[in-house]
Chains A and B, each alone.
Chain A
Amino acid sequence: MPMFDTHMILTIVGIAFVGGIIGLDRTAVGQCMISQPIVVGPLTGWILGDPTAGIVIGAVLELIWVLDMPVGTFVPADATISAVSATAIAALGNTGGAPLPLIGFSILLTVAMVPVTMKADGIIRHWNSRLADAVMTGPGTDSGRALVRAHLSGLLVFFLKSFVLYLVFLPAGVVAVSVFRQLPENVHLAMSLFVKLLPLLGMALVARKLSMKTIDLFLLSGFMIAATAGQLFHAPALLIILLAVVGGWLGAGYRERHS
């Protein structure tokens, strides 16, 4: 296909490589949260010359997936692959900054990616059992060296999982974008609205998991603080966020004393 010229192929391979390395942070190395959408979205956008797409996608996917936790044997959705893929697809699908509908469509594509990433994660985590078995059932001598070899080869397995998935998702996404361009104007309008509403859906997902109530008092007080400071005093966003933090801290202290 003419859309896949040498530059495009090299870019896809490069993003797959960088994404694979950063993806190690999710489980295998450190878990310092470098792999979170709010970091990898803007980073991918910056690398590909479309920071706006990265910022929008990173913020939205962070809210949606932040409380999808790796507890016990549950393997959460790979939000890193979602954020990197969506940003790369949006940036590669439109040179000079992806329009809002395209950003929305790229985010929507990640919905199809999530089950695949979870399945792939499940497969490699079963496969990793062989690494432990190889050390445990091996000869009783030099277990230390066998352990290091087996354990660190897990890094390669995790890397390859992400790398291969990017090599599948990114070209498929670029093709899907070319189809999306042909769709009627109403679909583009719908994708614009989709992007605008997604942060609210993400916030609702977080609020539901953190509070038992639909109308949470602390959420409402944060809203009141921000709306009042913004409307009456035209306070800058940074100050409003600080006020919401202080308000939350004081509210939590009050609740502790009176419960």
Chain B
Amino acid sequence: MNGIHNKIGAADLFVVFLRALLMQASWSFERMQSLGFAFAIAPALKKLYPNGAEYESRLRLHMDYFNTQPYLASFILGAVVRMEEERATGLSASDDVVGLKAALMAPLGALGDSFFWGALKPLAAVLAVALLMTGYWWAPFLFLVFYNVWHLGLRAAMLFWGYTSGGNAVALIARFSFMKMAKRFKVITLSVLGGIIGMAPDWRPEFQPIAPLPFLPMALSWLVVALAFVAILRRGGSPIKLMLGLAALCLALAYAGVLA
């Protein structure tokens, strides 16, 4: 990559990237992604340590406990490949890969959970729901494209950034401001949610009210109902309990003759 570390090339990193897609294939409560990490890095280790015994020992070292956000694990993989390469080529005496993994996995896990699960996914989902509810059948495709441009793009970039920076998480955050983007995505999601409610009269017929209403009264009444749900949710309750509660309310309204 930079002329000094010439044992690992882009093709080797690409293989690690592909294997990292299977990182959670054997996810368990006790060891979490430990086997997945070793599985992803194994081809690079094989290349770095042609000696069978040393390869075995390094591979076992990477079967230690490991858990982070699966996408940002790529950054740690890249950094560890770099550290292993420096060790194998004698460029560095330091081989504290366990320490490096331990130092990075918790902060990157929190960062990744907040950005990917807490911001990008809801934004992509809400955009797709907005389109689907207003009659655009191709919304699921947009959802997949929008999400995966970010997901796969960042996942691949992370691996190379991790490798070139040697695991410098500060440089990573300077390069891509996860928290700032997460905040923006959350605000846009809220805005689109409001937009969906404001478009209530344009929703698919399955979601139209039982009695037809003019545009604005209908949108406003749906807004009031949504805000009432938010107020109820503030008091707690799981989605399951809320769905059951809603079903019970609908039954009560039906038997009270309101829906007739």
Contacts and interface: CB of A to CB of B under 8 A. Distances in A.
Contacts of B156: none
Given A29-B22, A142-B56, 8 more contacts: A69-B117, A127-B28, A151-B22, A187-B251, A196-B209, A216-B190, A237-B131, A244-B192
A240 to B, nearest CB: 6
24 contacts: A28-B24, A32-B151, A64-B243, A122-B29, A129-B30, A132-B28, A132-B31, A148-B42, A151-B25, A151-B35, A151-B38, A154-B26, A192-B210, A193-B250, A194-B246, A199-B196, A199-B207, A201-B242, A211-B190, A222-B195, A240-B199, A241-B195, A244-B191, A252-B183
B247 interface: yes
Given A38-B139, A126-B29, A245-B188, A62 B250 contact: no
B193 A222 contact: yes
A100 B206 CA distance: 7
Given A203-B226, A214-B230, A237-B136, A227 B24 contact: no
Interface of B: 21-22, 24-31, 34-36, 38-39, 42, 46, 55-56, 59-60, 63, 67, 70-71, 113, 117-118, 121-122, 124-137, 139-140, 143-144, 147-148, 151-152, 180, 183-184, 186-199, 201-204, 206-210, 215-216, 219-220, 222-223, 225-227, 229-234, 239-240, 242-244, 246-247, 250-251, 253-255, 259-260
Contacts of A111: 240, 243-244, 247
Contacts of A221: 191, 194
| Chain A interface mostly | helix
A143 B62 CA distance: 11
Contact of B190 (A65, A194, A202, A219): A219
Contacts of B231: 214
Contacts of B206: 52, 56, 100, 103, 195-196
B28 A226 contact: no
A14 interface: no
A186 to B, nearest CB: 4
B109 to A, nearest CB: 8
